């Protein structure tokens, strides 16, 4: 048990609450569950084990995220498989885990108003249970009676009976209002503290709201784009999910017999279980978004579809897509699954899970015009993925190495300066275990076609201190380590783990990697700098600073290379910035730089930091 629960009055009564008894008569046992967080308990007398309860699984995800920095999108599929949950139970567990993590900031503001104790004084397991209960009460169609009673039962099971009165009283207080009414009470006044209001309403830390505002520039307070379709009276974080009440109402798209691979993505079953979520994060608190910044924040709370990438040198996308899949909007290799397990497609090498924005980043590098062709007589162009793990972009580049235009989007082509000779891809990765994943991904992709599309090598190397000579490569991709704040809809816990101070170390590394990439590319060659973050400190600031301090560097027109994708120009129009609310992708940043001349002082030597 976490903490000391001896004095029951420790938690007192929340403001305005009466009574300490649980709502209704719960059937759950009063004792504690001291079993492990994972496993396949069989229960007694034919009853399902407590650990297989959807709410217990959601709690275990929250606990693991808090205690050992687990990733919810990796852990949850494993728990569903281990505990054999499918159908509507899996849908409920998914909605509770992801929805609670997404809405944590808003729920904490409401819970703080309903408790006479500061939330930071509560033992973490108690707060986890309260957050799960608040999500059910404010953002799902679970009845108030059931939401409170099951939360009390969960508290008894994972903490002990002495906290049940406190949990009951706080959640009864939460249940007195809907989300919109609570926001009117707990959110700062939007007229005097706009970012504070948006942070509470859309459940983002204030510093991320400010960073998004800077990334959007003058457009932040402008009208939301037409692609965002408003849904009236929708809840804040993921929209209400109506939990099926009978076996006949179980969702059609189950978790493929609950057999997802560890670490693989599973199409969100909650979306197939009666979710009212609108497209591209259209469901916003209190009605439609009125500004682009609101639309961007709301998109971080939307449930994304699982997006996959076919192999460019393999069978056509139409032959790879399973029944019910839909082609992507921008990449000729992208398609999405409304539900189900993509593991069979991944195992065959026909596709991998990859956001469409990430696909566009690799395509942009392959398209970008180099200033001059490779030297006469050269056997092949050489491409480099400087930060290759776990291998998604390397795989796409590998498939693009033999394409000269037919499979590309309109107006494409691998690049006006590209050689028609086979291309050699080098994938560099600092960590050996991630390098092994890259090698496996490339080898699996190669087996999916009759003839391997090109040569490749995977090397374990520090991208800031690479072992190759300067000017070795024609094209270099820098998929830089970043905050990941462009993928909050896929990683709901990420927003609560990061702080503005974390960016200082990251941006120093990003600058070092971009300098090494520019040194690695030949004169006339191209570097693509890519992050899954729209934050200026990690994107435009890094690129403009490095370009200004590196003689012979030219910044190219990245949006022009992706001309068929509208609305990509960032506040600095030379850079492309994708957005979930505009493009349905992660918030991927893409900059293209060309090395225009050799540094006269440099010799053909190994790159040094």
CB-based contact 491:265 (threshold 8 Å): no
Every domain of the chain and the residues it spans: 17-180, 354-368+380-595
**Residue 451: per-residue pLDDT:** 65
Percent of the chain with pLDDT over 90: 64
Q: Identify the helix (H) or strand (E) that includes residue 327.
A: strand 326-327
| Number of helices (H), then strands (E), in the chain | 21, 12
Q: What is the average pLDDT across 545-564?
A: 96
- Looking at the DSSP bridge assignments, the partners of residue 336 are 307, 326
- Burial-class residue 569 by CB neighbours within 10 Å (0-12, 13-18, 19+): middle
Helices (H), 41-189: 54-68, 72-82, 87-102, 104-114, 124-139, 144-158, 164-174, 179-186
Specify the range with the lowest mean pLDDT, choosing from 248-257, 375-384, 415-424, 505-514. Answer: 248-257
**Residue 599: per-residue pLDDT:** 54
- Distance between the two ends of the chain, CA-based, in angstroms? 50
Confidence grade of residue 254 (pLDDT, cut at 50, 70, 90): very low
CA 521 to each of CA 108, 168, 501, 564, 594: distance values in angstroms, whole numbers, following the listed order: 49, 63, 32, 27, 9
**Residue 290: per-residue pLDDT:** 84
The pair phi, psi for residue 195, each rounded to 5°, is -70, -35
| Structural tokens at position 539 | 């994107």
Separation between Cα atoms, residue 570 and residue 558, nearest integer Å:
10
Separation between Cα atoms, residue 449 and residue 439, nearest integer Å:
16
**Residue 508: per-residue pLDDT:** 96
Q: What is the average pLDDT across 81-85?
A: 91
Model pLDDT for residues 557-579, shown as the tens digit of each residue: 999 999 999 999 999 999 999 99
Residue 459 reports pLDDT greater than 80: yes
| Structural tokens at position 91 | 């849908």
**Residue 548: per-residue pLDDT:** 97
Residue 185 reports pLDDT greater than 50: yes
**Residue 129: per-residue pLDDT:** 98
Specify the range with the lowest mean pLDDT, choosing from 61-75, 220-234, 518-532. Answer: 220-234
CA 312 to each of CA 344, 402, 406, 436, 539: distance values in angstroms, whole numbers, following the listed order: 18, 9, 11, 22, 28
- Burial-class residue 237 by CB neighbours within 10 Å (0-12, 13-18, 19+): buried
CATH architecture assigned to 354-368+380-595: 3-Layer(aba) Sandwich (3.40)
Average pLDDT value over all residues in the chain: 80
**Residue 207: per-residue pLDDT:** 96
Residue 125 reports pLDDT greater than 60: yes
Model pLDDT for residues 291-332, shown as the tens digit of each residue: 999 999 999 999 888 999 999 988 899 999 998 899 999 999
Residue 529's SS3 state is: strand
Most confident of 158-172, 269-283, 284-298, 590-604: 158-172
Residue 249 reports pLDDT greater than 80: no
Q: What is the average pLDDT across 98-124?
A: 96
CB-based contact 427:376 (threshold 8 Å): no
Specify the range with the lowest mean pLDDT, choosing from 47-51, 253-257, 523-527. Answer: 253-257
Q: What is the average pLDDT across 102-131?
A: 97
Is 114 a residue of the active site? no
Catalytic residue among 114, 387, 482, 532: 532
- Looking at the DSSP bridge assignments, the partners of residue 590 are 530, 576
**Residue 229: per-residue pLDDT:** 37
How does strand 473-479 pair with strand 521-531?
A: parallel
CB-based contact 463:510 (threshold 8 Å): no
Separation between Cα atoms, residue 92 and residue 58, nearest integer Å:
9
Q: Identify the helix (H) or strand (E) that includes residue 542.
A: helix 540-549
Separation between Cα atoms, residue 157 and residue 560, nearest integer Å:
58
Specify the range with the lowest mean pLDDT, choosing from 243-247, 267-271, 563-567. Answer: 243-247
Closest C-alpha to 384, from 365, 404, 408: 365
Q: What is the average pLDDT across 223-237?
A: 50
**Residue 220: per-residue pLDDT:** 96
Phi-psi region of 510 (alpha: psi -120 to 50; beta: other; left: phi over 0): alpha
pTM above 0.85, yes or no: no
Model pLDDT for residues 356-384, shown as the tens digit of each residue: 999 999 999 999 998 765 555 555 789 99
Closest C-alpha to 289, from 30, 579, 608, 591: 579
| Structural tokens at position 451 | 């003839």
**Residue 50: per-residue pLDDT:** 55
Q: Identify the helix (H) or strand (E) that includes residue 215.
A: helix 206-216
* 327, 330, 334, 338: CA torsion to nearest 10: -50
**Residue 37: per-residue pLDDT:** 44
**Residue 92: per-residue pLDDT:** 95
Q: What is the average pLDDT across 86-93?
A: 92
Separation between Cα atoms, residue 102 and residue 490, nearest integer Å:
10
Separation between Cα atoms, residue 354 and residue 370, nearest integer Å:
26
Model pLDDT for residues 587-602, shown as the tens digit of each residue: 999 999 999 865 544 4
Helices (H), 312-448: 317-320, 343-348, 356-367, 392-400, 432-447
Percent of the chain with pLDDT over 70: 73
Model pLDDT for residues 7-61, shown as the tens digit of each residue: 334 444 444 444 333 333 333 333 334 333 443 344 444 444 556 799 999 999 9
Residue 269 reports pLDDT greater than 50: no
Confidence grade of residue 242 (pLDDT, cut at 50, 70, 90): very low
Q: What is the average pLDDT across 191-195?
A: 96
Most confident of 11-15, 81-85, 194-198, 236-240: 194-198
Separation between Cα atoms, residue 362 and residue 400, nearest integer Å:
9
Q: Identify the helix (H) or strand (E) that includes residue 306.
A: strand 306-310
Model pLDDT for residues 378-419, shown as the tens digit of each residue: 557 899 999 999 999 999 999 998 664 333 443 344 433 444
Separation between Cα atoms, residue 488 and residue 581, nearest integer Å:
12
CA atoms within 13 A on the CB side of 231: 21
Specify the range with the lowest mean pLDDT, choosing from 55-64, 212-221, 259-268. Answer: 259-268
Residue 555 reports pLDDT greater than 70: yes
- Burial-class residue 191 by CB neighbours within 10 Å (0-12, 13-18, 19+): exposed
Residue 250 reports pLDDT greater than 50: no
Query: Helix 206-216 and helix 194-201: axis angle, to 10°?
Result: 110
Model pLDDT for residues 477-507, shown as the tens digit of each residue: 999 999 999 999 999 999 999 999 999 999 9
Q: What is the CATH number of domain 17-180?
A: 1.10.940.10
Confidence grade of residue 349 (pLDDT, cut at 50, 70, 90): confident
Contacts with 271 (C-beta within 8 Å, 6 or more apart), sequence order: 277, 303, 305, 338, 339
Q: What is the average pLDDT across 248-269?
A: 31
How does strand 334-337 pair with strand 306-310?
A: antiparallel
Specify the range with the lowest mean pLDDT, choosing from 149-153, 246-250, 425-429, 586-590. Answer: 246-250
């Amino acid at each position: 048990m976490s903490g000391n629960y001896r004095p029951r009055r420790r938690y007192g009564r929340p403001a305005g609450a009466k009574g300490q008894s649980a709502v209704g008569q719960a059937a759950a046992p009063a004792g504690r569950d001291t079993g492990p967080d994972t496993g396949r308990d069989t229960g007694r007398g034919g009853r399902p084990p407590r650990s297989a309860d959807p709410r217990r699984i959601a709690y275990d995800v929250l606990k693991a995220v808090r205690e050992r920095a687990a990733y919810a999108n990796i852990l949850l599929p494993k728990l569903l498989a281990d505990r054999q949950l499918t159908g509507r139970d899996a849908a409920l567990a998914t909605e509770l885990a992801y929805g609670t993590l997404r809405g944590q900031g808003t729920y904490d503001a409401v819970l703080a108003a309903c408790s006479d104790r500061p939330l930071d004084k509560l033992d973490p397991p108690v707060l986890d249970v309260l957050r799960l209960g608040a999500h059910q009460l404010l953002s799902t169609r679970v009845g108030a009676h059931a939401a409170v009673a099951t939360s009390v039962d969960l508290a008894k099971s994972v903490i002990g009976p002495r906290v049940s009165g406190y949990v009951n009283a706080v959640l009864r207080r939460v249940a007195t209002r809907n989300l919109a009414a609570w926001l009117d009470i707990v959110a700062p006044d939007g007229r005097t503290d706009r970012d504070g209001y948006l942070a509470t309403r859309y459940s983002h830390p204030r510093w991320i709201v400010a960073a998004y505002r800077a990334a959007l520039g003058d457009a932040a307070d402008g009208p939301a784009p037409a692609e965002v379709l408003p849904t009236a009276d929708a809840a804040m974080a993921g929209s209400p999910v109506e939990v099926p009440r009978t076996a006949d109402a179980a969702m059609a798209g189950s978790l493929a017999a609950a057999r997802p691979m560890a670490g693989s993505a599973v199409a969100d079953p909650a979306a197939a279980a009666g979710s009212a979520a609108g497209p591209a994060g259209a469901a916003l608190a209190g009605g439609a978004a009125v500004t682009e910044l609101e639309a961007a924040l709301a998109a971080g709370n939307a449930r994304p579809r699982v997006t996959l990438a076919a192999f460019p040198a393999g069978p056509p996308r139409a032959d790879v897509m399973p029944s019910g899949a839909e082609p992507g909007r921008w990449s000729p290799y992208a398609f999405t699954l409304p539900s189900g397990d993509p593991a069979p497609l991944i195992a065959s090498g026909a596709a991998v899970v990859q956001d469409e924005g990430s696909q566009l980043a690799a395509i942009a590098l392959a398209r970008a015009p180099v200033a001059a062709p490779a030297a006469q007589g050269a056997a092949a162009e050489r491409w480099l993925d400087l930060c290759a793990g776990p291998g998604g972009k390397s795989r796409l580049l590998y498939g693009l190495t033999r394409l000269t235009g037919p499979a590309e989007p309109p107006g494409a082509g691998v690049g006006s300066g590209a050689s028609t000779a086979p291309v050699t891809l080098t994938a560099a990765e600092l960590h050996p275990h991630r390098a092994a994943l890259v090698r496996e991904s490339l080898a699996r992709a190669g087996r999916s076609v009759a003839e391997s599309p090109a040569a490749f090598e995977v090397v374990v190397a520090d991208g800031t201190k690479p072992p190759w000579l300067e000017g070795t490569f024609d094209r270099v991709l820098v998929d830089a380590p970043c905050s990941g704040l462009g993928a909050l809809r896929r990683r709901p816990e990420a927003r609560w783990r990061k702080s503005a101070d974390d960016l200082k170390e990251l941006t120093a590394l990003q600058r070092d990697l971009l300098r090494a990439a520019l040194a690695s590319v030949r004169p006339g060659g191209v570097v693509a700098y890519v992050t899954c973050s729209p934050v200026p400190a990690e994107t435009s600031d890094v690129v403009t600073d490095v370009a200004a301090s590196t003689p012979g560097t030219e910044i190219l027109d990245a949006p022009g290379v992706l001309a068929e994708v509208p609305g990509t120009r960032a506040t600095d129009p030379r850079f492309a910035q994708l957005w979930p609310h505009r493009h349905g992708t992660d918030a991927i940043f893409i900059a293209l730089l060309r090395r225009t001349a050799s540094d006269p002082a440099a010799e053909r030597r190994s790159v040094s930091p």
